[in-house]
Structure 1
Amino acid sequence: MADFKELSRLLEEILEQGPAGCGCAVARNGEILFEEYHGVKDLESGEPITADSVYRQYSTTKVAVCTGAMMLLERGKFLLNDPIYEYFPEWKDTMVAQPEEDGSYRVRPAKRPILIRDCFSMAMGIGYGGTDYTHQAAEKVRAQLRANVGEYTLQQEIKAMAEVPVAFDPGTHWLYGFGHELVAGLIEVVSGKGVGQFLKEELFEPLDMKNTGYHYFGDIRERMVTTYLLKEDGSREASPYFQRDELFEPEAKYEGGGAGLFSTVRDYLALTQMLACGGEYQGRKIMGRKTIDLMRCNQLNEQQLKEFRNPYLEGYGYGCGVRTLMDPSAGVNSSVGEFGWTGMLGSYVSIDPAEKLSLVYMHNLFPNREAYIHPRIRNIVYGVL
């Protein structure tokens, strides 16, 4: 039988050809079973990683944002099948850039509107970039926005991006990208608050997440770990490019849905424990159990599952902003319905309501070695149960 000594060993092992430092914690039904920090937050200073170390979340931001949005769904603020244009009128007449056999594109009206569920499930048709018509058009829109207004807000971006023809008819394919910016924008429209303020008041403060946010406060800046680029020879080089820390400055305007938060292992352990324990945290009800069940319900059809899955995500589907386990026979030893997500710099969360179990792992490294590290952590944790 595995025990947590194996997890300690693994965390030390990955420092040899991976991050400079990392943190990992596991909790079940409100009790912390494991919490350790290995390595250093900065190679030059040699300062050790601790529970107070702060990590750039990148796409694990999506877990918090989609949780906040689902809290508004259960308050009757919107429905998943609502067209997004009901909240953003600029998106009423969505166009599709359809590729032709000769390599050209034909821009035509979409067969149906983009629905809110398409935004949650990454089926709305704008990704994170590319050389195709859609993504070249998106880059032009953002460049024009920067030229016209300088630093722009999420709402300004959403309104401007409405003119971009999407890559396919909404709901027909899976494409990782802009959907969660629309989800964050939806939070702002229906709550009347900025997404950062809403998450702070409705999620972070009730969960005592005192080290999480979009913009620096207190001594957060000093506690941030250094992001490293892992080179082919195994050496590590500090990489300001992947840090994008200018967006954390207090005066920065943009707060995104797909990335943008910083946090600690303990803060995200609180978030994931709430989700694993039916929406309750330390005796307080934060959100409904059945809303969490909806959040982790697969939203993809067979075609979309083929586009979504890769060796790292084998056996999983995709719900409202989270991967969700459908088929453990793919080599996953967690429960059906276990869910979570991963950040580009290596953050990882796994949430299992069946076991009231959650695990959080964090480092800041690119490439993040997710395919090697995360499944091994998960397998050890479940081996201890």
Structure 2
Amino acid sequence: MNTTGFSSSRIERMRRVLSGHVERKEMPGLVWLVSHHDHVHVETLGNLSFGHPGVMKRDTIFRIASLSKVITAVAAMILIEECKLRFDDSIELWLPELANRRVLKSISSQPDDTVPALRAITVRDLLTYRMGFGSVMAMPDTYPIQRLIREYGIGGDGPRLPSQLPTADEWLKRLGSLPWLAQPGERWLYHVSGDVLGVLVARVSGMSLGRFMRERIFDPLGMKDTAFHTPTEKIGRLPAVYFFNRQTNTLDLFDDQASSSWQVEPPFESGGGGLVSTIEDYFALCSMLLNKGRHGREQIISRAAVELMTSDHVTARQRADSEIFFGTHSSWGLGLAVDISRAETFHNPGRFGWNGGFGTTAYTDPAHEMVGILFTQRMMESPEPPRVFTDFWTLAYGAID
């Protein structure tokens, strides 16, 4: 393996530390990649599941959860650059289910205790995750609205199985029947904007979200294994997913390979978290963004579009209200996080990317011409990065030669 561009001793340390997470049975296996300038280093560790003889490989297909959000934002930027969407247009023409919003007087209000929205939701609101609805970061049933969100299957409380989702039209209808949590543009709220953005891309393009992504992003980038489901002939490359059970202190199965919900096309192609991908497929996406929208002879989106996506679009107050996601070092661009200061050795202003709830993380650092990707299938327990993520990033930046 070519390690030019990296310290060989620190790559060995990286291998040793990450192997420890597998040896301690924190997860059955993982795949990691670091690129620096033109040099790429990839390693695989462990197995597809506990007790399974199949090993992790470079072409292992992972459920990438919220890393899907970055791809959905790129899809929207393509339509914006074709003038089929405009940032400050109301979305009501394409998504009439979300017209005439009502907004809760407070997060603790009953669902019928509302005021009218002060304005319509815009495309920009979706991309910046400030449309006024998203994850409620509180214990279940703390507020009345949480029960309805759960009953309607809206999401925002962690990754879901595709089989649990309604169709896109039914999902949007249910969402439109709920009151908003905040006025459009007022607060940054996680996740649901990504799903709405995916529905918007599908309706504006006149094709399914998966088909649009395939034709405009995946095929041009050579992302042959990225999709909203894993076909039968590839299912042997899909690992199991585990979650930590706090009651029993054990890792329990969330989705198995043999009976995976990702074996069939989902009723709803979730732009906020539904994709599967390989580490090399996702590296192609990250490399395109690092190269200001270009991949070989293909210009997927413009340099200006990438620069806008990776700029800070959230106010200091909005960041502070979502500190569990951003800490003090990060903010939000268009469909992805953007580092704005240093809190660890790996936080570098201008670095951008995101994490996925099924145990995936991918960031691009233009200042260092660097991409890092770590794929596991152990579910995150909170928005705060697990230790395997922070170990990976600390080691990756330390390995740059």
Same fold (TM over 0.5): yes
Q: Does 1:186 align with 2:200?
A: yes
Change (3 A) 1:299 1:373: same
Residue 205 of structure 1 aligns to a residue whose secondary structure is helix
Q: Which amino acid aligns with 2:364?
A: I
Question: Does structure 1 residue 87 correspond to structure 2 residue 94?
Answer: yes
Q: Report the more deviating stretch, 64-73 or 187-196.
A: 64-73
1:263 aligns with 2:277: yes
Counterparts of 1:104 and 1:195, CA distance in 2: 31
TM-aligned CA deviation for residue 173 of structure 1: 1.4
One-letter code of the match for 2:242? Y
Aligned match of 1:381? 396
What SS class does the counterpart of residue 35 from structure 1 fall into? strand
2:176: which partner in 1?
162
Q: Offset at 1:321?
A: 1.2
CA distance in 2, matches of 1:345, 1:319: 22
Aligned residue for 1:69? 76
Provide the C-alpha distance between the structure 1 equivalents of 2:355 and 2:81, rounded to a whole number of angstroms: 25
What is the correspondence of 1:232-271 to structure 2 with a 5 Å cutoff?
A: 235-240=250-255, 245-246=260-261, 248-271=262-285
Matched residue, 2:336: 322
Provide the rounded CA distance (Å) in 2 between the counterparts of 1:331 and 1:10.
18
Q: Does the Cα contact within 8 Å between 1:25 and 1:33 map onto a contact in 2?
A: yes
Cα offsets for 1:60-80 (capped at 9, x unmatched): 111111111112212212122
Show CA shifts across 1:150-170 (max 9, x none): 973213322342221101111
Hey, what does 1:27 align to over in structure 2? 35
Q: Percentage identity across aligned positions?
A: 23
Matching of residue 136 in structure 1 with residue 138 in structure 2: no
CA distance in structure 2 between the aligned counterparts of 1:18 and 1:101, rounded to whole angstroms: 37
- The equivalent of 1:297 in structure 2 is 311
- Number of residues of Structure 1 aligned to a counterpart in Structure 2: 376
Question: For each residue in 1:255-311, what CA deviation from the matched residue of structure 2 results, as whole angstroms up to 9, or x when unmatched?
Answer: 011111111111111111111111122343222111111111112112210122238
- Equivalent position amino acid for 1:270 in 2: A
- Shift of the 355–140 alpha-carbon distance from structure 1 to 2, 3 Å rule, reads same
* Gaps in structure 1 of 5+ consecutive residues: 144-149
Shift of 1:141: 4.5
CA contact (8 A) 1:18 1:230 kept: no
Pick the aligned partner of 2:377 from 350, 364, 377: 364
Cα separation, 1, equivalents of 2:74 and 2:111: 40
How far off its partner does 1:378 sit? 1.8
Q: 2:352 aligns with which of 311, 322, 339?
A: 339
TM-score using structure 1 length: 0.89
Q: Which residue of 2 aligns with 1:5?
A: 12
Determine the C-alpha separation between the residues in 2 that align with 1:305 and 1:338: 17
Which letter does structure 1 place at the counterpart of 2:385? E
Amino acid at match of 1:169: Q
Contact 2:111 2:178 in 1 (8 A): no
User: Aligned-pair RMSD on alpha carbons?
Assistant: 2.8
